[in-house]
Amino acid sequence: MNDDLKALIRTIPDFPKPGIQFRDITTLLLDANGLATAVDRMAAAAPGSIDLVAGIEARGFLFAAALAVPLKAGCLLIRKDGKLPGATIAEDYALEYGEDRIAMHADACAPGARILLVDDLIATGGTARAAVRLLRKAGAEVVQAQFLIDLPDLGGAVALAADGVPVASLVAFPGH
């Protein structure tokens, strides 16, 4: 399933370091039909009524904005800390070597808002899990997380599901 979309995603070996198979979505984004098909399929997989589609910086913004239109929802941006003006709330998360921090506007969503979390790819799930914690800190209900690509060998989707968030993706690639 979704082999048509998978064929539009280019693999670049040994980027950004040896042993990594980088899944490049820019080739899918360049294909108007492929992009429209991906958005249509993601929208069709969304569960019920959604108040906001939250996109994780940066490629998640592309899909979040595109999905918000057919879902008749707003678009919430989750950014690296320090990139948003005004009052924000933030969440730390671990990286392979160190920590990072994501943030959103403190007034971006009302308590009880139904959120669809979106990004282009889930690998280990660290950023997505931090985004879920951040949204829950704001009082939101994360009803689903969607990704164009899942790298199941890295376990992120399983970890996110263990946090109580249903996960959907269009394509999966083995390895990392």
Closest CA to 125 of 59, 28, 56, 35: 56
Q: Is 96 a catalytic residue?
A: yes
Which of 10, 23, 41, 96 is the catalytic position? 96
Burial of residue 173, with CB atoms counted within 10 A of its CB: 0-12 exposed, 13-18 middle, 19 or more buried: middle
Cross-strand bridge partners of residue 39:
none
Tokens of 18: 């040896």
Q: Is 91 a catalytic residue?
A: no
Residues contacting 36, CB < 8 A, separation 6+? none
Which of 41, 57, 59, 141 is the catalytic position? 59
Catalytically annotated residues:
59, 96
